[in-house]
Amino acid sequence: MNNSLTDILSSVKNGSISVEDAALKLKAAPFEDIGFAKVDLHRTLRQGAAEVIYGAGKTPEQIIGIADVMRQNGQNAILITRLSSEAAEAIKSNAAYGLDYRADAKIGIMGAMPKPDGIGKVVVATGGTSDIPVAEEAALTAEVLGNEVIRLYDVGVAGLHRLLAYLDDIMSASVIIAIAGMEGALASVIGGLADCPVIAVPTSVGYGASFGGVSALLSMLNSCASGVSVVNIDNGFGAGYMASMINHMEAKAK
């Protein structure tokens, strides 16, 4: 059961909201049809996190329209992924709520970042500096979803001492996102050091035989380290979202 639904039921139990008010929250329309999109208004209740806007292929007007519906229905922080700088400028000029645009990650954020409420820390580590755009997509996704994030950038296996200098961060994390191109070895090394789940993200960084990230993908899929799972090439968003789910599992325990 996700946190939002648990909060509603707990509020009814302790008397801070009435049964009728709780029923209204649960009976709200599950989605709003605005023609070009059907905005999912119940996703927070079902999954614990609101719908995210995928920016690629959408016009600025469409993004603003979707965001307006989300804001009107109580969504405080809105995440927009794969957003071009041109679209971001148009949104900044026309959106009523403003936009914080992070160009390296192609991420747009409307509203204030929430306070971290996960059970621990999410570590985002990259093999090289060239992997940072994917890493920032993962890190910002996790932060918008309410997680404290530690960034360890350029700690790849070509200079292993750089990674070993951060063993305290690695060993204290509740989940680690390991992002690397080339041969993708970073995920296996971290998987052999950490006592928490490791989410591996292959990137399309590398020379010709890396095949646009396929080499790193196959290396990560074939990792001999236990506890390593793999998302798609350059899928920082997917890794950040999964890390947040793992870092909020206290709801299940309760």
Predicted local distance difference test score (pLDDT) of residue 2: 52
Instruction: Give domain status of residue 115, yes or no.
Output: no
Report, as ranges of residue numbers, the positions in the chain whose pLDDT lies below 50. 1, 251, 253
Predicted confidence (pLDDT) per residue in 149-166, tens digit:
999 999 999 899 999 999
Q: Which helix (H) or strand (E) holds 152?
A: strand 148-152
Predicted local distance difference test score (pLDDT) of residue 1: 38
Predicted local distance difference test score (pLDDT) of residue 70: 84
Asked if residue 238 lies in contact with residue 230, where contact means CB atoms within 8 angstroms, the answer is no
- pTM of the complete model: 0.83
Looking at 110, 131, 147, which one is the last position of a domain?
110
Do 136 and 228 lie in one domain? The reply is yes
Cα separation of 97 and 63, whole Å? 12
Asked if residue 103 lies in contact with residue 130, where contact means CB atoms within 8 angstroms, the answer is no
Do 161 and 201 lie in one domain? The reply is yes
SS3 of 233, please?
A: coil
Domain count, the chain: 2
Domain that holds residue 139: 121-252
Do 106 and 142 lie in one domain? The reply is no
Do 148 and 234 lie in one domain? The reply is yes
Do 136 and 87 lie in one domain? The reply is no
